[in-house]
Structure 1
């Protein structure tokens, strides 16, 4: 630790001697490997920031700094030249701590197997296996979508069963019952009928939906004229299925002829980027990338754009983004020079374009969820909550508090914890209010928060339980609760964002409270669902503890009213018999044998419930 501190001091001293000029800096480790490449408008200011206080550094940046042995720099004539050089050096050296995108983009093919019962599938390579291959295609996503649509429309099987060998071997799968497969496995479908459906599927793949509808409509009309109503009905169903696919495609249609939509979602230690590519107003391709680290959003978007389009030859005239892009003018200039035409970056605030961005962001959250192993809705909710509250990072660890009492009596509080959007019940805690008399929710909340963070000071080296600092505190209450708690945290030196959860007159979550007012949450947002879940859970937990205390109080008053029974004996009786009812029903001999009891006290208890008895 001492060596690391000394090393940072040494590197900072060298950084303070750098020129006040634009340029590129390269961080090296002890193995002389380049582990990070960055650009700067002013080299001295940017590089020296790394080796000062690490309070505002992300975890990934802190890890990078710990591994820096020395740095070098290259002065450039302008910040734009620095950006171009930075891109080149990142591509050349693939530094560990830069955003690195794995370019798995390659050609895709449609494979058509041979035989009397052919199948279609998407593959990356052509094999010498006697099958027919159609392609190549650049977008594997669009090919998969097309094949999937063709299978569903024309009800072709998507399983490993072989025909006719597997006829009648087992029941049809779920796809048959939801009318997405004709189930040749039943053995009741003629080969000619299957081949007809298969050929129509191939026409759909090659000619598109419009051509298929025209051809199928002609066949349907001809079948109706020939009074073959069964065939006409089957063709009608296929036409309707194609129409449904077209309607679904319209949902993600773009008013711009060509544009890319880029959005990001952040988890505790990873960032996911999603790209929707539109050609001729239609979604033509999708790509997902998950990278390590959660750096500043604007910086991350800027670096992603440059890395992504360094791998792609096609750059559209418009990029829709989900937020601010650092060095936007420089990035636009770089894109325009690479494209040979003007490029615009736009952050939509309303309308259809905003809907496309939100859809893209939700898909980024789904990709992130697959990486983290939790549901896409939870990842999306946490990312949305971060943006809604203006947090520096995703609130991986959330603590929530609620006060419960009855006219100031049995004053208690409950604390619940949500980790990665899910309840962490092992970290739940109960508080019995000790210093506040009567109904004073603000005073009670201050006591609870003070006690919780006094425990943090004692156990912070353990980094679990009370020793772990939350990323966010949510109080069940309005701006008054927030105003009561924030000064206390500042006084204690605790830097954790605090917000309230406000309910409407029907006891449903409607807003998040801040010191100066409220932030409304729309009920359709994923963040709304998460906040509502947290508020309901902390209320349930606090109310449950309050009822438990009231019950104990009632029990204690019953047993303590018996002559010869003090707190210790009452507690021992309840531990042994579990309930007052069981104490009441116990025989005298059972009471005498109970822990902590003697014959006189046992008789007093027995007579309290059953009346006087003779010796």
Structure 2
């Protein structure tokens, strides 16, 4: 037993002596530093789990446990007291293995440069640099969105070019061509026109869209009365641009005056959290967080909510989340006490709030995808599939199998692999069915799965974790619950713990559902997961049937040669291997056939005569011998 195993055994023995009382536990490393703080309803049960089986631990928890040298605990009168104490201790100690959120919500300002051709930008602090400042503002995200909108509506530059120094130097950027910038860099916009647009942008920032529309409408009508049609058209375009902006904002508007929306997306090693904050029924702030580790969803939401509101002063009356929250009632009570008024936690199932949650989740998936290096669509599809199938972790590495034969003949199987939602063709594998004769798809599938995981065990003995040495996160069989029921006992017999499901097709050969050993899960309403599973099913079917057709062609070719007297399967295979094709065999001369591996002069003669007719070489030699 290693030193680490002995330490783990010792810690488990100590954990088993803890009381069955609520409380907080603190894990320390060898230096005495606190590396993790948690709360428990029953200290003995919770703490002992860390030092038992690692089967349900993710990599982050395994690393934490490996670094624990000793632990201490504090007994509380109730689980609620434990939650409050845990939150306070985490904020004080910042343990490295807890979800830690940086409190970077300082004030933001809008900086306006002095002099001609002014610019505005978002900054974190005011400086004595001659510039003007507007603010402070609480949400830097909101300021950035507002400034970006102001630039697009009033066609102000966002580049770093200086005016008038850079007039005529280089071509305008893309924003000019998509009509989001007037391109003063061309030298065709007067300073007066620029100042007018800039001042209107500042009015928009200070007063909001409604005030700007009112002022711009008055100016437009005045310009039209004065027959200044070009100016009136320019003002009309700005009014229309503000209108389009308001329409886009309605998409993320809430009927609730004040609320926060939370959603998460999990990858193979990290979890992304997204927060939408609404004030005045409008999206006022948006925050994204990426944390290491992949806890069960309910546990992850619970810990994140506790950490998030520990560093935020404002607690809204409504907190909307995208799924179950561990200790939901305790957290609602804690938030109520923190706010001083009632706070409700809501998990919407339909309607406007559900749509907001879905949008929030899509943004979490997009943040996760930027870290993983794949697209937001793929990250979202994998996370949706994880939720749909109730998997403990995101299926980053999926293996799928299909059997192909023709009335039991040329029985083969194909295996395809999808990694991070994309085909990994280097990991595809083909199988010839060896132990099953006739059309027995269940038996064929069992043989393939057995051979695959026998290979896995042999690779593990050699310490090889590539190819067959890697355990998949999910297995999908092209077939219904019968296939799953046939294979599942085999996996249990072999001690392989991998989630197993089937892919069911409708009468038009299109993906319809996911099969369990005891039923089906409809996936049509889960658009991204449905698209991913359909792609996997189509790909494994294409790969398996392609291999089957290849084997049939080889069999047909081989049967041409075996129809020649004296040429059996072994010689036919050797000839094809040597000459590559039957056409090449038919064009070979007698000497080339005789020199081929496994061939004799009589067998070479028979092959030659099969393709070319009788040769006179052999009979002439026999007639001379007979005369003698």
TM, length-normalised to structure 1: 0.95
Instruction: Report the number of matched residues.
Output: 615
Matched with 2:435 is: 435
* 1:455-494 superposed matches below 5 A: 455-460=455-460, 461-494=463-496
Looking at structure 1, the residues matched to 579 and 134 of structure 2 have their Cα atoms a distance apart, in angstroms, of 78
Matched with 2:621 is: none
Give the C-alpha shift of residue 224 in structure 1: 2.2
Give the C-alpha shift of residue 286 in structure 1: 0.5
Matched with 2:105 is: 105
Give the C-alpha shift of residue 524 in structure 1: 6.0
* 1:326-345 superposed matches below 5 A: 326-345=326-345
Deviations 1:457-500 (A, max 9, x none): 22234233222221111111122211222222222222221111
> What SS does the aligned partner of 1:288 have?
strand
Q: Is the 8 A contact 1:414 1:542 kept in 2?
A: yes
Matched with 2:498 is: 496
> What SS does the aligned partner of 1:536 have?
helix
Matched with 1:319 is: 319
Q: Is the 8 A contact 2:384 2:526 kept in 1?
A: no
Matched with 2:35 is: 35
> Which sits farther off after the overlay, 525-534 or 244-253?
525-534
Q: Give structure 1 stretches of 5+ with no counterpart.
A: none
Judged with a 3 Å threshold, the aligned counterparts in structure 2 of structure 1 residues 15 and 116 are, in CA distance, closer, same or farther, namely: same
> What SS does the aligned partner of 1:303 have?
helix
Deviations 1:407-458 (A, max 9, x none): 2211111111112212222221111111222222222111111211222222
> What SS does the aligned partner of 2:342 have?
coil
Looking at structure 2, the residues matched to 43 and 127 of structure 1 have their Cα atoms a distance apart, in angstroms, of 52
Looking at structure 2, the residues matched to 52 and 594 of structure 1 have their Cα atoms a distance apart, in angstroms, of 64
Matched with 2:533 is: 531
Matched with 2:7 is: 7
> Which sits farther off after the overlay, 253-262 or 101-110?
101-110
Q: 2:48 aligned with 1:16, yes or no? A: no
Looking at structure 2, the residues matched to 508 and 115 of structure 1 have their Cα atoms a distance apart, in angstroms, of 66
Give the C-alpha shift of residue 186 in structure 1: 2.9
* 1:193-212 superposed matches below 5 A: 193-212=193-212
Matched with 1:294 is: 294
> What SS does the aligned partner of 1:255 have?
coil
Looking at structure 2, the residues matched to 124 and 586 of structure 1 have their Cα atoms a distance apart, in angstroms, of 83
Matched with 1:559 is: 561
Matched with 1:121 is: 121
> Which sits farther off after the overlay, 604-613 or 224-233?
604-613
Matched with 1:361 is: 361
> Which sits farther off after the overlay, 143-152 or 218-227?
218-227
Q: 2:546 aligned with 1:544, yes or no? A: yes
Looking at structure 2, the residues matched to 492 and 545 of structure 1 have their Cα atoms a distance apart, in angstroms, of 28
* 1:151-170 superposed matches below 5 A: 151-170=151-170
Give the C-alpha shift of residue 390 in structure 1: 0.9
Give the C-alpha shift of residue 579 in structure 1: 3.0
Looking at structure 1, the residues matched to 191 and 596 of structure 2 have their Cα atoms a distance apart, in angstroms, of 82
Looking at structure 1, the residues matched to 299 and 606 of structure 2 have their Cα atoms a distance apart, in angstroms, of 77
> What SS does the aligned partner of 2:299 have?
helix
Looking at structure 1, the residues matched to 291 and 612 of structure 2 have their Cα atoms a distance apart, in angstroms, of 73
> What SS does the aligned partner of 1:121 have?
strand
Give the C-alpha shift of residue 533 in structure 1: 1.4
Give the C-alpha shift of residue 587 in structure 1: 5.7
> What SS does the aligned partner of 2:374 have?
coil
Give the C-alpha shift of residue 573 in structure 1: 4.1
> Which sits farther off after the overlay, 404-413 or 559-568?
559-568
Judged with a 3 Å threshold, the aligned counterparts in structure 2 of structure 1 residues 329 and 578 are, in CA distance, closer, same or farther, namely: same
* 1:393-472 superposed matches below 5 A: 393-460=393-460, 461-472=463-474
- Kindly report the root-mean-square deviation, in angstroms, between the aligned alpha carbons of the 2 structures: 2.1
Q: Is the 8 A contact 1:398 1:471 kept in 2?
A: yes
Looking at structure 1, the residues matched to 34 and 277 of structure 2 have their Cα atoms a distance apart, in angstroms, of 33
Judged with a 3 Å threshold, the aligned counterparts in structure 2 of structure 1 residues 503 and 237 are, in CA distance, closer, same or farther, namely: farther
Looking at structure 2, the residues matched to 241 and 547 of structure 1 have their Cα atoms a distance apart, in angstroms, of 59
Judged with a 3 Å threshold, the aligned counterparts in structure 2 of structure 1 residues 603 and 178 are, in CA distance, closer, same or farther, namely: farther
Judged with a 3 Å threshold, the aligned counterparts in structure 2 of structure 1 residues 160 and 592 are, in CA distance, closer, same or farther, namely: farther
Deviations 1:87-130 (A, max 9, x none): 11111111111111122222222222344333222222334443
Looking at structure 1, the residues matched to 575 and 181 of structure 2 have their Cα atoms a distance apart, in angstroms, of 67
Deviations 1:332-377 (A, max 9, x none): 2211111111111111111110111111111111111112222111
> What SS does the aligned partner of 1:291 have?
strand
Matched with 2:53 is: 53
TM, length-normalised to structure 2: 0.93
Judged with a 3 Å threshold, the aligned counterparts in structure 2 of structure 1 residues 37 and 572 are, in CA distance, closer, same or farther, namely: same
Judged with a 3 Å threshold, the aligned counterparts in structure 2 of structure 1 residues 573 and 327 are, in CA distance, closer, same or farther, namely: same
Judged with a 3 Å threshold, the aligned counterparts in structure 2 of structure 1 residues 510 and 118 are, in CA distance, closer, same or farther, namely: farther
Q: Is the 8 A contact 1:257 1:281 kept in 2?
A: yes
Matched with 1:181 is: 181
Matched with 1:516 is: 518
